[in-house]
Amino acid sequence: MRVIYLHGFASSPSSRKAQVFAARLREAGAECDIPALDGGDFSALTITGQLAVIDAVAAGEPVTLIGSSMGGYLAALYAASHANVERVVLLAPAFGFARRWPLRLGEAAVAKWRAEGSMEVFHYAAGEPRRVGIALLDDGIRYPDFPDVLQPALIFHGKQDDVVPYTFSEEFHALHPQAQLHLFESGHELTDVLDEMWQLTAEFLELKHNG
């Protein structure tokens, strides 16, 4: 089995969840790739650009996608238009990606972002602020809030998530009866339920799992 793990916004392949999942997948006999979704230029980040990175890594082969936050949204988007994706596992997926920015930042902050052309955000992998262009928002508006995923899907979300409300995953689940949704007493990062998520993921992917 070949798996591609998609990290979240302002993150990287070295994220804790990415590394834990990759290690356990490899122990279970699966291949796992973790691409850097920004293609080396965070300032020019777009949904379209990230989908192109996924496409290049998948190379038309049968794959399973595991995505965290924005990576979960990307996994759903890519799966909805690529039959070579066999299954998806979504960790706190950022459904409604473009729609939620104005709700989270406020209209004034979005207007400032647009006027300046870029906005400073904290980049978790770099450990410092980085600027991201308004193209992320403008490009993101082109894509649906809830991609029409037809493949089997496993979704994890924290009830205390203050970044992406778990109700977004509930809405997706209501539209996609083939999806399984597991809610945890956890926040957006879900790092305190890694073992539980791995066990359910291993069962979903029909892999052996060692704790």
- pLDDT tens digit sequence for 150-176: 999 999 999 999 999 999 999 999 999
Within 59-180, where are the H helices? 70-80, 97-105, 107-116, 135-140, 166-175
Q: State residue 210's pLDDT score.
A: 52
Q: Output the six-digit token pair for 189.
A: 């990062």
Over residues 104-120, the mean pLDDT reads 96
The position carrying tokens 């400032």 is 112
pLDDT at 208: 73
Structural domains in the chain, CATH included, are 2-204 (3.40.50.1820)
Model confidence at 203: pLDDT above 90: yes
Contacts for 132 with CB less than 8 Å, ≥ 6 apart: 10, 42, 43, 45, 118, 119, 121
**Residues near 70 by Cβ (< 8 Å), separated by ≥ 6?**
8, 9, 94, 97
Q: What is the mean pLDDT of the chain?
A: 96
Q: What is the pLDDT of residues 65-92, one digit of tens each?
A: 999 999 999 999 999 999 999 999 999 9
Per the CB < 8 A criterion, the answer to whether 64 and 86 are in contact is yes
